Structure 1
Amino acid sequence: MKIAILGYSGSGKSTLARHLAGYYKIPVLFLDTVNFLPNWVERDRDEGRLIVWNFIQNDSWVIDGNYEKFFQIERLEQADKIIFMNFPRRACIYRAFKRYFKYKNTTREDMAKGCIEKMDLEFIWWILHEGRTKKRRNHYKQIERDFKDKIVILKNPKEVDLYLQKIVNP
């Protein structure tokens, strides 16, 4: 089983990835851990691509993250299931603040070591605007069209819960 999880920042991609990896007992890759080195320094692009390339050679996996530069098309083509977390802005910003207060002054397991949880104006602007430009929304719509036979679109936490229940109790 190969599962690619895409979606907006704060939608719960990493949480869902952990659940699915645990349920299916397959390895998980959080692309934020590939993109960043300690202290939010961006990793060399070629080095990151090599990490992802090696990971997608596995027979089964869950990959959490958008990052077009890390073989996004190849990941989506290989995936048996694509999950798009299409949550509204207000839900994402709420969840991001909730996550910030939960992990403040620590590093989450789905983040690169040494990347302390942060909430700043740049990230808020990303969640509310930059991460949802017309170009980005159109990119997701294209993915929906190109992979309509294997994409699942989840729009809120209740839909995520129902999706997980269907997997556990088919």
Structure 2
Amino acid sequence: MKKIAVFGKPGSGKSTLSKTLAESAGVPFYPLDSMVYNADGSLVERAAFDAQHENILQSEAWLIDGLGPLASFQQRLQAADTLVYIDLPYWLSYWLVTKRLLKGLFITPEGWPPGSSIVKGSLQSYKMLRLSPRFWNSDFSQKLTALGDSKNLHVIRTLSELNQFVAQIKL
């Protein structure tokens, strides 16, 4: 496990899992939100993001969590040796985004870009959740299953499975 892509819907626990997994595997952790967004919440210039993303993919070891631009996501899926897809039910994802929003009013959520607005970011997460069925669907699942033939694939569908996965990593 040297090149790891962690992905799933907003609020699914990607950042928390990724931090633990990166430490356990001894690989550098690159939170995608910190690569895509500036501290003020504006988007990083696409050319700058693409260059940084490509440099990371060419390195010996990495863990990148998140989706980001679709072309870069596809590149990550191809370059990774390990794929971790957190596929929690939609109702649970909405609840976790809401929980993060409420908690974020007092402390910065795990993996949240420093200085960015928790309210603005949460509204973006709700928007992404509303649009997610267009992407996180059976076609994507079939493509992911096919990729799993040549990669280490983990699909996590419940909070219990997520907690078990994290507990295994810490061993």
TM-score bracket relative to the smaller structure? 0.7 to 0.9
Residue type of the alignment partner of 1:143: K
Contact 1:2 1:81 survives alignment (8 Å): yes
Q: Which has the higher contact order (CA 8 A, sep 6+)?
A: 2
Provide the C-alpha distance between the structure 2 equivalents of 1:107 and 1:165, rounded to a whole number of angstroms: 24
Identity of aligned residues (%): 23
Secondary structure of the structure 1 residue equivalent to 2:68:
coil
Aligned pair count reads 167
TM-score normalised by L of structure 1: 0.85
Gaps in structure 2 of 5+ consecutive residues:
none
- Alignment CA distance shift 1:122-1:48 (3 Å): closer
Residue type of the alignment partner of 2:22: A
- Alignment CA distance shift 1:117-1:106 (3 Å): farther
Match of 1:49?
50
Gaps in structure 1 of 5+ consecutive residues:
none
Name the Cα RMSD after superposition. 2.2
1:66 pairs with 2:96: no
Secondary structure of the structure 2 residue equivalent to 1:153:
strand
- Alignment CA distance shift 1:92-1:74 (3 Å): same
Contact 1:5 1:84 survives alignment (8 Å): yes
Pairing 1:8-19 to 2, within 5 Å after superposition? 8-19=9-20
- Alignment CA distance shift 1:109-1:50 (3 Å): farther
Residue type of the alignment partner of 2:162: V
TM-score normalised by L of structure 2: 0.84
Provide the C-alpha distance between the structure 2 equivalents of 1:122 and 1:61, rounded to a whole number of angstroms: 26
Provide the C-alpha distance between the structure 2 equivalents of 1:138 and 1:42, rounded to a whole number of angstroms: 30
Residue type of the alignment partner of 1:64: D
Contact 1:39 1:114 survives alignment (8 Å): yes
1:152 pairs with 2:149: no
